[in-house]
Amino acid sequence: MKTENLRNLMNSGKMVKVMGAHNGLSAKLAENAGFDAIWASGFEIAATHVVPDANILTMTENLNVAHSINKSVSVPVICDCDSGYGDINNIAHMIKEYESMGISGVCIEDKPFPKLNSFLGEGQKLEDIEVFSEKIRVAQETKKNKNMVVIARIEAFIAGQGLSEVLKRAYAYKEAGADALLIHSKKEDVSEIYEFCNSFNENLPIVVVPTTYPNINLEILKAHGVRLVIYANHGIRSSVNAMKETFENIIKNGNTTNVEGTISSMEEIFRLQGTGKLRKPSYNLQK
């Protein structure tokens, strides 16, 4: 049902707002805030394990977190699956495993395995177009639920390539069967995104990740054909700041008096955990 909901959202004509999460609690908070879907963020999950976002964690480790996220929310979950954890055989295995966990969508990027986070370094290597196109075809052939969404993430702008290379890849990936295209850019403005949208003459949902261009106008993005916007790392970044401030305050003052007014109450945590739904046993062991 959630998978069908994601497909319907993508085709609804509205701007779908997606928040990155790294565990069930962050996903639940995003759902409560009103986001339409959750992005099981590879960057955020790697950060919680205190390892670089460079395919250090295995597919299974990421899948376990994604499964926990999916169980915690009623909205669809899209998983950041990097470059697919290997070749086409890894892609087929990945799709089977993620689909079995009820994941609504996966996103794979056109960089070789192991990948490196898009905001690290310059001139990152790109996967051969035909090799990546085959990954998309295999993903679509493997899935049993036709509504499961396969997003092709184009990293050509990230790698320093121009619009012609991005368009070449976009048309190839559409032909291979991608359900949507994620166009990534690390410019501090949205110019590359608009340039692509104005040149890509196909009716295919466009996805963006506005990490470096925060001042975007969602209505203008929508008018350019963008259908999903993913805030892919704001959950972990905000939580790190909040925890740092709390921990440093406690060390400085030797007590928690000054932080009690800024942190969640125990009751709020109990509510998020669903503690009020716990059942009392009906049996009585007293004689």
Helix residue ranges, H only, the chain: 2-10, 24-33, 42-48, 59-72, 88-100, 129-142, 163-176, 191-199, 218-223, 234-253, 266-273
What are the structure tokens assigned to 22, written together?
A: 């790294």
DSSP 216-255: --HHHHHHTTEEEEEE-SHHHHHHHHHHHHHHHHHHHHSS
User: Per the residue annotation, which of 53, 80, 82, 179 is the catalytic one?
Assistant: 53
> What are the Cα distances from residue 246, in Å, to 7, 13, 44, 142, 195?
40, 42, 20, 47, 43
Question: Cα-atom radius of gyration of the chain, to the nearest Å?
Answer: 21
Which of 45, 66, 41 lies closest to 57 in space, CA to CA?
45
Contacts of 261 (CB under 8 A, 6+ apart): none
What one-letter code names the amino acid at 42? G
Indicate if 128 belongs to the active site.
no
User: With 0-12 CB in 10 A as exposed, 13-18 as middle and 19+ as buried, what is 48?
Assistant: middle
Catalytic residues: 53
